[in-house]
A = this chain, B = another copy of it.
Amino acid sequence: MERIDDVTIEGQQARSVWVYAFDQADPRDRTRLGGKGANLAQMVQWGLPVPPGFTITTEACKAFWQAGERLPDHLQSEVSMAMLRLERAAGKRFGDAFHPLLVSVRSGAPVSMPGMMDTILNLGLNDVTVRALAYQSQNPAFAYDSYRRLIQMFANVVFHVPLDPFEHVLQSAKARHGCKFDGDLAAGAWKEVVATCLRVYAERVGEPFPQDVHTQLRLAIEAVFRSWRSQRAMVYRKLHNLSEDLGTAVNVQAMVFGNIGEDSGTGVIFTRHPATGERALFGEFLVNAQGEEVVAGTRTPQPIAELAIKMPTVYRSLITVAHQLETRFRDMQDVEFTVERGRLYVLQTRNGKRTAQAAVKIAIDMVHEGLIQPQEALLRVDAQHLRQLLYRRLQSTDGLAVLTKGLPASPGAAVGRIVFDANTAVAWAGRGERVILVRPETTPEDIHGVLAAEGVVTLHGGMTSHAAVVARGIGKPAVCGCDDLRIDMEKLTLCAGEAMLREGDWVSVDGGMGMVFIGQGTLAEAQMANELNELLAIADQVRRLRVRANADTPEDARRAREFGAEGIGLCRTEHMFLSPARVPLVQRMILATHAVERKAALDELLPLQVADFTEIFRVMDGLPVTIRLLDPPLHEFLPREEELVANLGRLRAKATSESEIAEVEQLLCQARYLREANPMMGLRGSRLGIVYPEIYDMQMEAIVIAAAQAVESGIQVELEVMLPLIGSTKELRHLRERMEQVGQAVMERLGVTIDFRIGTMIEVPRAALTADEIAEDASFFSFGTNDLTQMTYAFSRDDAEGKFLNVYFDRDILSSNPFETLDTRGVGRLIRWAVESGKSRRPDLKTGVCGEHGGDPASIAFCEELGLDYVSCSPFRIPVARIAAAQAALQHERIG
């Protein structure tokens, strides 16, 4: 970077280290110049109409903090030199009684922190220069108004004096003079206002407003540096995971005035529509106004198209500038401009914020326009952000009162009338009503209600509760754990605070936000526009990671293929046990007191499982399907103990037949026997398969029969059987050998050969720690990062999310939710170890992630770094995963 070293002060040559003029700075050095400074330098160097100025680097900010909130001496002399040069460029002098130079002082961090940092305008005005400005502009009202603005902004930014007392001065002056608008005040009145403001200033600050313009400048620079550590800036950085060490730069720029008359003005434009991505100028402007007024919203600006009528020449220039900026920055720009006496100045430009929809459209349009390469288009979208395109959403929540806020258990939105039990849900839905099922919690017995409803709300249970899991699986919105709601099942009412709803009342559910609103909102459908498909096609060419789906049913599988899944990475067989028709069979199997009886119940389940699998194979023709054998503890298939006890009480009160009572008693007895202190770590997964081998035998038999039927009808089956909750190689070997035997026996019986591979979930820390041994018995590892995160942190997700994670976020003990974004330091270390040591024993080991992290962009980037083969996520996340995988591949290539 060139330095301001051609300026001499009193013959002395000095090298600048902290201060760079716009026309001499290296625009690529955003770290030191900040985003705003770099863009100003860039625009100046491209010859765009930018008022001259200079940037004080972020390193000066660090030096300021290191020196104990003091500007180092050398910095002060560098600023003096830069001001000399600026005076020369502007043809005015700072503090001059005839041609005073006025400047703005603005912060500009390396990363955009909109609205977070401080700005002071009109610096250089004092009792003397204000008169010169009045004379030069032939507009005393403008000059004094500018001075007033400086005084109050300066008091506010430098000394944290609130704005109200100054505003009050202006308001009472207007009242006194019977004026409605600022512009109506006469010059004399303005002088009075300024005098009063100076008095207010002196009272509030404890010393007079500095008449020395260099003091003004020094204090302003210090204030901007100090604002880096303001409460709001720190909160923002925390929220966005930004480093505290970046520091901010300061931009000092000659003022231009949009409030100098009717031939002046100020505005903001986006070079394309930030909501839709449409290619047309979008923005607004105010005549005879300063920039702050647009932002502050004190006056209502006009649409930018009006400018074509009001100032056609300026408008044409603006179009040219917008085109230039977009072409040169190669992205949609958010531009602040000012018109001073008919002349256009660009004050700032940056890449414009945009909706997910706009991001996709703009990226693809720019590829078509030849502005960017297809791969660049990929990096122009925030993959996480894309999710909102894939679900229905509430068009607007204006006018809807919030009923409650719970956990965002399953994304998407729904609108319907509330019902309180599954049977009513089915009945109402049967006659064409849209219903929302509201339950204390859901159990397998409610599943027909969940299927019939548009969405589900529960009072208890977390992100992994039954309702949440089922709803996510079938892509319906759910809000869980709304523990401020109360249901009265007698009166059929639902209360939250003061609000009371009755059965049949309308509510609107936003599962992605975890919100429930009172009333009937309007839904907006999900959008998979052509541009998104085009972007996905680009992603598919770039990415290395395969993307599979977590899909448990043929419907899931179909949806997954539509979204571009390249296989099923996790087919949970337990969900097949939960359909209402099967629950009695499953319960009989659980109630069996010995293996023979259990086998009989399982024999009845067998053909049903076969049918499920056959259909899934048919849908996934030619793609791999990973079927996980039964995982959850058996008591999950029984009604809750409390419910059984209550039920028993009712039956007894009604003097029901003995046999009916006995049946419930037996269920209760078994539920109590199966009760566990910590079911997450109890009799489930492979342990279930070892203790009750008949269950896995049946499942394996069903899988092989289904595969054989599929193959017979010309379907290509690529089968992977996955064993859950493995903790040691002996568990795995025991089950693998048994499953191979069962598979072999079935194949011999049917006279067919089905190729299948057996692998394991890695979801228990010990499995990861002994992955070298485990790899000898597994042909693939699928990291079950949900459970692995739970065990590694010793966080029960259901308990943690309700009881302490919020406190952890508040106290900055956790910066992100490890159940959403993979904890690379702890859990990631286990995964890395498992991949490396597993591959050391079995180089062709296939590896993937099938936890919820499989759909999270940051986690996908980590999977790319580790060289996993695939990620698997819920069908609705697949487009996100495809984009994120491609982005990760590009990033990895860049680093690697």
Contact = CB atoms under 8 A, between A and B. Distances in A.
A728 B789 CA distance: 13
Given A678-B678, A794-B787, A827-B766, A683 B730 contact: no
Contacts of A787: 794
Given A731-B813, A794-B681, A807-B690, A799 B766 contact: no
Nearest to A465: B677
A67 interface: no
Interface in A693-745: 725, 727-728, 730-731, 734
Given A769-B830, A794-B765, A826-B770, A681 B678 contact: yes
A790 interface: yes
Nearest to A732: B813
A581 interface: no
Interface string A486-524: 000000000000000000000000000000000000000
Given A764-B793, A812-B730, A799 B769 contact: no
A786 to B, nearest CB: 12
B804 A683 contact: yes
Interface in A778-820: 787, 790-796, 798-800, 803-804, 807-808, 811-814
A44 to B, nearest CB: 44
B678 A813 contact: no
Given A765-B794, A766-B792, A807-B690, A681 B727 contact: no
A825 interface: yes
Contact of A764 (B677, B794, B798, B807): B794
Contacts of A800: 681-683
A744 B116 CA distance: 37
Interface string A220-257: 00000000000000000000000000000000000000
A770 B763 CA distance: 18
A822 B817 CA distance: 32
A791 B787 CA distance: 11
A811 B830 CA distance: 28
A813 B730 contact: yes
Interface string A741-760: 00000000000000000000
A793 B811 contact: no
Category for how many chain A residues contact B: 35 or more
Given A687-B804, A734-B813, A678 B727 contact: no
A819 to B, nearest CB: 13
A622 interface: no
Question: Does more than half of chain A's interface fall in helix, strand or loop, or is it mixed?
Answer: helix
A676 interface: yes
A582 interface: no
A679 interface: yes
Q: Which of A792, A807, A812 has the most CB of B within 10 A?
A: A792
A886 to B, nearest CB: 30
B794 A679 contact: no
Given A679-B678, A796-B682, A804-B690, A811 B734 contact: yes
Contacts of A690: 804, 807-808, 811, 813
A829 interface: yes
A655 interface: no
A653 interface: no
A691 interface: yes
A794 B727 contact: yes
A680 interface: yes
A725 B794 contact: yes
A687 B807 CA distance: 9
A850 B676 CA distance: 26
A796 to B, nearest CB: 4
A573 B770 CA distance: 35
Nearest to A685: B794
Contacts of A766: 792-794, 823, 826-827
A683 B799 contact: yes
Q: Which of A727, A793, A813 has the most CB of B within 10 A?
A: A813
Residue among A687, A770, A811 having the largest count of chain B Cβ atoms under 10 Å: A687
Contacts of A462: 677
Contact of A799 (B681, B807, B825): B681
Nearest to A674: B803
A765 B792 contact: yes
Given A687-B804, A770-B826, A808-B690, A794 B680 contact: yes
Interface string A645-682: 00000000000000000000000000000001111111
28 contacts: A462-B677, A676-B798, A677-B798, A678-B678, A679-B796, A679-B799, A681-B799, A682-B796, A682-B799, A682-B803, A687-B803, A690-B807, A690-B808, A690-B811, A691-B807, A727-B794, A730-B812, A763-B794, A764-B792, A764-B794, A765-B765, A765-B791, A765-B794, A765-B830, A766-B792, A766-B823, A769-B829, A791-B792
A-B complex: 5 closest residue pairs judged by Cβ atoms = A678-B796, A681-B796, A682-B799, A766-B826, A677-B798
Given A676-B799, A730-B814, 15 more contacts: A678-B678, A679-B799, A680-B794, A681-B793, A683-B804, A687-B803, A727-B795, A728-B813, A728-B814, A734-B811, A734-B813, A765-B791, A766-B794, A769-B792, A769-B826
